[in-house]
């Protein structure tokens, strides 16, 4: 029986690298993304199926699931990878931005999980791999919304792993450190409020205190993909897969 993985946010970065690696390892990959039009990279693989899925839109998640189940009789792994960051002074953010951050990184991830869980329950096995971050364990200033969302992913995943353990459904966490993708370029920058108070001196001292972390090499999306593959194929009870500059060791 072929191994099947469903990936969210597979249009770029870690999601795309993971889709390619699993395809090279002869898995059947369902690479989901908001817009499949410009995916020439993944279209090269016969064993990658592209599907539209916006994690903030329940109807699109349900439709993607139905299309998968029309063609495949099981799913081995769900990789909840889609996410983005909002950065800037908290005081300058709006509740709309707080909601937007959680809408994708937390509520979206939960919706996809809830909608796919019955598949795992009916087949009596499955693995959910959620993308958290080093930022789900430790924090940096000016990223309060993002950290809050990734801490939420950590808490959610840990509780769910206990809840599902009797069902033979496992939950694991991928915790990348800083990774070279378009992530930072795509993050939403809140530029208002620079005149609220002078935080530059504070930031310089803060960065100095974390300089070992900040100066350590960044990972590539392929490095992260390899850990996702390890998580998917490793039968040990290990739950967290830390990648690259392990900030925890610098604290
Ligand atoms: P990218 O920006 O390259 O990838 C993010 C992906 O998420 C894109 O495919 C994007 O799709 C998708 N996405 C965003 N919103 C939605 C949505 N509503 N529905 C479906 N897909 C969506 O960055 P990375 O590959 O680096 O990020 C992947 C994950 O890794 C994120 O969860 C991020 O938080 C996490 N991470 C990244 C780190 C880094 O340093 N890069 C470090 C730690 C964790 P679209 O093309 O449509 O925008």
Q: Which residues of 88-105 are buried (b: 16+ CB within 10 A; e: fewer)?
A: bbeeebeeeebebbbebb
Average pLDDT over residues 200-218: 74
> SS in 3 state form for the chain?
CCCEEEECCCCCHHHHHHHHHHHHCCCEEEEEECCCCCCHHHHCCCCEEEEECCCCCHHHHHHHHHHHHHHCCCCCEEEECCCCCEEECHHHCCHHHHHHHHHHHHHHHHHHHHHHHHHHHHHCCEEEEEECCHHHCCCCCCCHHHHHHHHHHHHHHHHHHHHHHHHCEEEEEEEECCEECCHHHHCEEECCCCCCCCCHHHHHHHHHHCHHHHHCCCEEHHHHHHHHHHHHHCCCCCCEEEECCCHHHHC
Give residue 247's pLDDT band: very low, low, confident or very high (50, 70, 90).
low
Q: What is the mean pLDDT of residues 28-44?
A: 96
Fold of 4-246: Rossmann fold (3.40.50)
Please state, in angstroms and as integers, the Cα–Cα distance from residue 155 to each residue in 158, 159, 171, 235, following that order.
5, 6, 12, 22
Which of the four pLDDT bands, split at 50, 70 and 90, describes residue 24?
very high
> Is 150 designated active site?
yes
Catalytic residue among 132, 144, 157, 161: 132
Q: Is the pLDDT score of 105 beyond 60?
A: yes
Cα 172 to the chain's mean position, in Å? 11
Q: Which of 2, 9, 70, 1 is nearest to 228 (CA)?
A: 9
Phi-psi category of residue 197: left, alpha or beta, with phi > 0 → left and psi -120 to 50 → alpha: beta
Catalytic residue among 133, 150, 178, 213: 150
Helix axes 144-164, 95-102, angle to 10 degrees: 40
Q: For 50-104, write each residue's pLDDT tens digit.
A: 999 999 999 999 999 999 999 999 999 999 999 999 998 899 999 999 999 999 9
pLDDT at position 170 is 98
Where residue 204 falls among pLDDT bands split at 50, 70, 90? confident
CA of 195 to the centre of ligand 1 (A): 30
Q: Which residue has the higher pLDDT, 6 or 195?
A: 6
Q: Considering only 119-128, 155-164, 236-245, which range has the smallest mean pLDDT?
A: 236-245
Which residues fall within 8 angstroms of residue 237, CB to CB, at 6 or more apart?
none
Assess: ipTM above 0.95.
Answer: yes
Q: Which tokens belong to 245?
A: 């500059």
Annotation marks residue 146 as catalytic: yes
Pocket test of ligand 1: the residue of 15, 150, 245 to mutate, having most ligand atoms within 8 Å of its CB, is 15
pLDDT above 90 covers what percent of the chain?
76
Pocket around ligand 1 at a 6 A CB cut-off: 8-9, 11-15, 33-35, 54-56, 81-84, 104, 108, 131, 133, 176, 178-179, 181-183, 186, 221
How many angstroms is it from 196 CA to the middle of ligand 1? Answer: 30
């Amino acid at each position: 029986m072929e191994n099947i993985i469903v990936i969210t946010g597979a249009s770029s970065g870690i999601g795309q690298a993971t889709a390619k690696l699993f395809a090279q390892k002869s898995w059947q990959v369902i690479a989901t993304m908001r817009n499949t039009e410009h995916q020439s990279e993944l279209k090269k693989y016969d064993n990658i199926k592209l599907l539209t899925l916006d994690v903030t839109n329940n109807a699109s998640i349900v439709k993607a699931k139905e299309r998968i189940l029309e063609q495949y009789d099981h799913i081995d792994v769900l990789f909840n990878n889609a996410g983005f960051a909002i950065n800037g002074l908290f005081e300058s953010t709006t509740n709309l931005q707080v909601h937007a951050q959680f809408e994708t990184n937390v509520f979206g991830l939960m919706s996809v999980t809830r909608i796919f869980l019955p598949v795992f329950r009916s087949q009596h096995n499955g693995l959910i791999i959620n993308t958290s971050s080093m930022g789900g364990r430790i924090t940096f200033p000016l990223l309060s919304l993002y950290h809050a969302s990734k801490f939420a992913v950590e808490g959610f995943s840990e509780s769910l792993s206990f809840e599902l353990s009797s069902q033979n459904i496992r939950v694991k966490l991928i915790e990348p450190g800083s990774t070279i993708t378009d992530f930072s370029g795509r993050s939403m920058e809140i530029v208002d409020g620079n005149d609220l108070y002078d935080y530059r001196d504070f930031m310089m001292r803060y960065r100095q205190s974390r300089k070992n972390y900040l100066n350590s090499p960044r990972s590539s999306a392929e490095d992260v993909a390899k850990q996702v593959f390890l998580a998917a194929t490793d039968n040990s009870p290990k739950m967290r897969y830390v990648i690259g500059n392990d900030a925890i060791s610098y604290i």
